[in-house]
Structure formats: structure tokens, C-alpha cells
């Protein structure tokens, strides 16, 4: 089962919240581009802080180095974007298009790997597919700036809602996977009682044999 990008609920919630917030700003605000860049900057900063905390908490598992590196990169980029938003305002719609295509395809792949476990229907793939189509449209940028900002906002909201729904579906699939394929090292797995019973029977036979002698 593929769970890339869905290892933690926090990352999914952050992605969904950021997408919906940015989408609403792009639809409502008259200065959407600058506002969006600052929201993205804030999201990157928050993501960096979360990554750093996760690395510290899971230090014994060797996650600190990777998470600290990721945190420093996110925080650095976030600060640059926040204080110098004019650097990316001209290409923000294209950037959003690329992000939608990448994360939309990631959703589709992860959901496809979960189909055998929880029996997903066509509707589960509808929103991710719409997000990808919207992302491709943004890459070609066929309309005026204002129209494209509104389209980008709608696509981001669609992706944000889809991300939340996908998170719940993947969590359900992971639970089902753990039930069907328990860890071999799990002392409480379904084979544990059999092994325990076998060990008990062996001990009984050994005791009986000693009594007969």
C-alpha cells in the first residue's frame, strides 16, 4: 500500500487548510497575488516548525537530521517569500498549477493503492482528477489575470476538500491493512495464540514423557 504524503495527519491537514485559505483569498481579494505569496510563506514557515518538532520527538528513530534540514529550507524560503513577495507574484498562477498537478496525481496514486482495501468508488477520484485538470489549465494560462486567479482559487479549494477526504480514506485503508497484514513481530498478532498454544502443548508432552520414565 502506498502512503507517500499521508504518513501524518498533520501534514494533510496543513496542506488542506493552506489550499482552502489561499483559494478563498484568490477569489475574494483584489490584491490576491501578494496576499497568496504571503500565505504560502506563512504555510512554509509553519511546515518548517512542525517538521522540526517532529524530528525532535522522533529523534531516537533517526528523523532529526532529515526533519531539521527540511525545516531550515522551509523556514528560509518562507521568510524570503514573506519579505520579498514581488519576486514570485508574476508567476504565482503557474506555480499553483504545477503544485495542483503534482499533489493531485499523488492523491490519485495513493487512493488507487487503497482501492483493494476499502473498495473506493468513482467519486473518490472525482475531486483529485478535477484538481489535476485545473492545474493543467493554469499552466497554459488561457485567460486574463483576474479570471485565472479566480480559477486558481476554485481549483485550490477543490484540492483542499479532496485532501481532507483522501486523508480519512487513507487512514481507514491503513487500519484495514494492519488488520489483514499484521506485523510479523507483533506479539499480539493472530499467530501469537497459535504459537503460544503450541508451546504449551510441547511442554505438556515433555512433562508426560518424564512421568512415564
Four-point Cα dihedral 45, 102, 86, 145, nearest 10: -140
Q: What is the pLDDT of residue 30?
A: 60
- Specify the pLDDT at position 137: 92
Q: What is the pLDDT of residues 44-85, one digit of tens each?
A: 888 788 878 877 887 777 767 777 787 788 888 888 888 877
Spatial separation of the C-alpha atoms in residues 79 and 20, rounded to whole Å? 21
Residue 45, pLDDT score: 85
Q: pLDDT of the chain along its 213 residues, tens only?
A: 565 556 667 777 878 888 898 888 888 876 667 777 887 888 888 878 887 887 788 777 776 777 778 778 888 888 888 887 777 777 788 888 888 998 889 888 888 877 767 777 778 889 889 999 999 999 887 787 788 888 888 999 999 999 898 888 888 877 877 777 776 445 454 444 444 444 443 444 444 444 444
The whole-angstrom distance between residue 118's C-alpha and the CA centroid of its chain comes to: 18
The pLDDT score that the predictor gives to residue 131 is: 92
Contacts of 139 (CB under 8 A, 6+ apart): 94, 97, 98, 101
CA dist 166 and 12 (Å) reads 9
Amino acid at each position: 500500500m502506498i502512503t507517500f504524503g499521508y504518513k501524518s495527519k498533520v501534514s494533510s491537514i496543513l496542506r488542506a487548510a493552506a489550499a482552502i485559505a489561499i483559494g478563498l483569498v484568490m477569489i475574494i481579494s483584489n490584491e490576491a497575488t501578494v496576499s497568496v505569496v504571503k500565505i504560502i510563506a506563512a504555510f512554509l514557515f509553519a511546515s518548517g516548525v512542525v517538521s522540526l518538532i517532529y524530528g525532535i520527538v522522533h529523534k531516537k528513530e533517526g528523523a532529526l537530521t532529515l526533519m531539521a534540514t527540511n525545516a531550515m529550507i522551509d523556514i528560509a524560503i518562507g521568510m524570503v517569500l514573506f519579505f520579498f513577495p514581488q519576486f514570485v507574484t508574476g508567476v504565482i498562477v503557474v506555480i499553483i498549477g504545477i503544485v495542483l498537478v503534482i499533489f493531485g496525481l499523488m492523491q490519485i496514486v495513493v487512493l488507487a493503492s487503497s482501492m483493494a482495501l476499502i473498495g473506493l468508488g468513482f467519486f473518490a477520484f472525482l475531486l483529485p482528477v478535477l484538481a489535476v485538470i485545473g492545474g493543467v489549465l493554469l499552466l497554459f494560462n488561457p485567460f486574463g489575470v483576474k479570471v485565472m486567479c479566480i480559477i486558481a482559487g476554485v481549483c485550490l479549494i477543490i484540492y483542499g476538500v479532496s485532501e481532507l477526504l483522501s486523508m480519512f480514506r487513507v487512514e481507514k485503508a491503513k487500519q484495514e491493512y494492519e488488520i489483514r497484514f499484521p506485523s510479523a513481530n507483533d506479539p499480539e498478532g493472530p499467530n501469537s495464540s497459535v504459537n503460544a498454544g503450541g508451546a504449551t502443548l510441547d511442554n505438556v508432552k515433555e512433562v508426560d514423557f518424564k512421568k512415564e520414565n
